[in-house]
Structure 1
Amino acid sequence: MPVLYHHWLSPAARFVRVLLAEKRIGFDLRIEKEWDRRPAFLALNPAGEVPVLVMDDGKAYSGVMAIAEFLEEVVPEPALLTGSADERYEIRRLVGWFHTKLGSEVTRHLVTEKLFKRFFGMGEPDSEAIRCAAHNLKIHLKYITFLVERRHYLAGQQFTMADAAAAAHISVADYFGNIYWQDWPHVKEWYVRVKSRRSVRTLLSDKIKGLAPSPHYSELDF
């Protein structure tokens, strides 16, 4: 069975988990503390980052979008990168937006300040970084609102990689209780639809000992 190396709140690994589940590919999860820089893990991915997907033949795949494109090629149905060239472009653009822009402006700050610094002795949380993440999160939630006011899902009428990428990051922010859902009704409506998918529900069972998620984190109707 394929093995996916991940850690608890890695949005990139969560994204790949959703894709694997959507395509009904069975896999085992293996926690990788990438900050330990294990030689055996570096042999799989010299970048030292999760996710890494090791297939049954022993081949290791890394790079979040490279893995996504690989899965789309080897298991084409159900398609998560679909439509015309312009429609596929839009899906790719949004996946890049969430992993790069939302990731660097919001998720990375939250995980570093609220998880890593607390559990791994990396110093006191930087309150300015947390405030910056909260400010940036509002900008991204406004953008998601703009999208879902015009589309059923983020890139169009059906669930795609774009929704998987956004859900991966939003689920991390929601774990920490950083989203005040009453202020974002359109985003909430979209997230309820996404959260109800079996592929996303698997993420919501993740719990970190000593760091409880927000009370509504795993609720499908909240």
Structure 2
Amino acid sequence: MGEFFRVLTDNGQLFVDGFTNTVKLFLIAAVGSLVLGTLLGAMRVSPVPALRAFGATYVNLVRNTPLTLVFAFLVFAVPKLDVNIDYFPSAAIALTVYTSAFVCEVIRSGVNTVAAGQAEAARALGMTFGQVLTLIVLPQALRAMVPPMMSVYIAMLKNTTIAAGFSVLEAGAIPAYMAERGEPQFAVLLWITIGFLILILPLVALQRFLERKWRVAR
């Protein structure tokens, strides 16, 4: 047991740096994917055929592409176009681009739970598509979107470990650094697991709280 705790105490700064970058990646990608995913979701339910086609193409293309390839494209292919982006911003962009496709589908599914008559009544009052979506549909769809949306973000938090393979020091990169120091990998992996549980459990608790609150509000 003493050896187990020694791994953490002797390498505390490495764990702090790794998980700090993991949290930064998560927060940046969470905000970015929510914004981009919402725009894509609006396109998916738009009355304009071209916008619907663009949204559907984006979702189908990105969702069927492995996240590792998205990372590889941004880290290795984009610099070939004389666009130089550091590893950390590249990882944040990759996570944003990938996760936004799933956020888009959550929003589209949530919008579809709202009765069509709601939107038709709003349009009959002269409201624009943007007003109908933001003032009438999305507030009602939000309750249906929370559980799958939180699942998407929990998955994204775990997906941040892929950045370790592209020279980003985050939680997934800790085992490689520890191996160079000769630390026992079982203890290292167990501490990383504990770290991710500490990050994920608040998201799960928030999801359950919102579900209970809005279920009562219905």
Instruction: State if a TM-score over 0.5 links the two structures.
Output: no
User: Larger % of strand: which?
Assistant: 1
Flag the structure with higher helix content.
2
Q: Which has the higher contact order (CA 8 A, sep 6+)?
A: 2
> Please, what TM-score do these two structures have when normalized by structure 1?
0.28
Max Rg structure? 2
